[in-house]
A and B are shown apart, each in its own frame.
Chain A
Amino acid sequence: MADIYQALADSTRRIILDELNKREGQTLFELLGRLAMAHDITSSRQAVSQHLAVLEEVGLVRTRRQGRTKLHWFDGTPLKKVVTRWPIPRGKPKR
């Protein structure tokens, strides 16, 4: 069982979130194309599916079927847990 920190600890998974954030409702095929063309990431379909499963488990990715095709969305809601866990000071950092 992954938590959000483990999910975000992998650079490929962070790039997957970057790319999913660019357009809502992407297929695995579209995402693989974006990873290969824009980031030179040529991980296998299975590897990217595994990454998506981890991200979905912690709620950073949501999926829905349109007809017989599975589409993927980025959902930043779980990030609230991260930014509210510790206080973030306003203004200049204290020395």
Chain B
Amino acid sequence: MADTQRKTKTMRINVTSVVVDDQRKALKFYTELLGFQKKTDVPVGDAAWLTVVSPEAPDGVELLLEPSAHPAVKPFRAALVEDGIPWTSFAVDNCRAEYEKLCAKGVHFLQPPVDHDTVVTAVLDDTCGNLIQICEEKRK
């Protein structure tokens, strides 16, 4: 296949991760509530290499739901959550519509949609230890 033989000269981003307190709980939240779909679920020791993708881009960037056992995770995330900083951001077409939809499903938002002129953003709690931003880029 031409595709697999294709030589690329630059690196590509294929996986990015969020650190989650409980991988199974996270899988439920990220698929059933946020609307991603499971891509890979392979046991690795006590945990799993567990990734989800957007149904709109099943071969696109995978989000790795990474276990949070490492001791550095706790203070790092505590500091982010204290200041309300979402370390991870996802794109949406309509921030307010997504906010309404997720609120109706019981998702807790720390920040409802705020219009920043070029973008509209909101911040939600993923219940697995992270704040997540959803961001709509306004078309010019």
Contact = CB atoms under 8 A, between A and B. Distances in A.
Interface string B107-118: 000111010111
A28 B123 CA distance: 12
B117 A37 contact: yes
Chain B: interface size category: 10 to 19
B83 A68 contact: no
Contact of A29 (B78, B86, B116, B125): B86
Contacts, number: 51
B78 A27 contact: no
Contacts of A82: none
Interface string A21-53: 001001111100110011000000100000000
B56 interface: no
Interface in B71-98: 78, 81-86
B23 interface: no
A69 B110 contact: yes
B51 interface: no
A33 B133 CA distance: 12
A70 interface: yes
B111 A27 contact: yes
A34 B84 contact: no
B110 A33 contact: no
Contacts of B78: 68
Contact of B82 (A23, A33, A68): A68
Given A27-B111, A29-B123, A30-B84, 14 more contacts: A26-B111, A27-B85, A27-B123, A29-B111, A33-B116, A33-B121, A34-B114, A38-B117, A45-B83, A67-B125, A68-B78, A69-B81, A69-B84, A71-B84
14 contacts: A29-B83, A29-B84, A29-B111, A30-B84, A30-B123, A33-B114, A34-B116, A37-B116, A38-B117, A45-B83, A66-B110, A69-B82, A70-B82, A70-B84
